[in-house]
């Protein structure tokens, strides 16, 4: 359960970063944050159902409501994850191209600043993901 909670926290944090699932990254973030709020409310509603006088039907209905919110949250955060993955891919492609663009007999000295910039882009993208996932 703690691992699941850690993953949820990571996904919620990730939801505050960039995104892409057809919508803009900002729209994906907004949707993920809204889904996180809805999930919080559904969790609270489910918790309030857990009383000594609750029926099995009450608990199952609350679970069904919670399940719907969970699915919406999971879908929304997957768009955010896809966006972050896309950023990593773009940074990596930039580094690959920069290395490929260094002429065959040329020294690295002439391209060193470009290569360092591209390396920094990959490192920054990776660091952002690791920080948001709380790795």
Q: What averages of pLDDT result for each successive group of 10 residues across the chain (135 residues)?
A: 44 44 77 89 92 88 91 88 85 89 70 84 79 56
The CA distance from 64 to 39, in Å, is: 12
Which pLDDT belongs to residue 21?
Answer: 47
How crowded is the C-beta side of 48, counted as CA atoms within 13 Å?
7
pLDDT value of position 107: 65
pTM of the full structure? 0.57
Q: Residue 76 burial (CB < 10 Å; 0-12/13-18/19+)? A: buried
CA–CA distance, 130 with 10 (Å, rounded to integer) = 9
What does the pLDDT read at residue 82? 85
Tell me if 72 sits within 8 A of 15, measured CB to CB. Answer: no
pLDDT at 104: 67
42: CB partners within 8 A, 6+ apart: 65, 66, 68, 69, 70
């Amino acid at each position: 359960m703690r691992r699941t909670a850690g993953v949820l926290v990571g996904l919620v944090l990730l939801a505050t970063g960039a995104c892409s699932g057809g919508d803009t990254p900002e729209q994906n973030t907004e949707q993920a944050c809204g889904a996180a709020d809805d999930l919080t409310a559904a969790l609270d509603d489910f918790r309030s159902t857990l009383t000594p006088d609750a029926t099995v039907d009450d608990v199952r209905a609350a679970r069904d409501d919670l399940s719907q919110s969970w699915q919406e949250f999971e879908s929304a955060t997957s768009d955010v994850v896809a966006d972050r993955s896309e950023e990593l891919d773009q940074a990596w492609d930039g580094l690959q191209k920069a290395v490929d663009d260094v002429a065959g007999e040329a020294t690295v000295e002439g391209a060193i600043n470009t290569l360092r910039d591209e390396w920094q882009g990959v490192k920054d993208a990776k660091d952002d993901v690791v920080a948001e996932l709380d790795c």
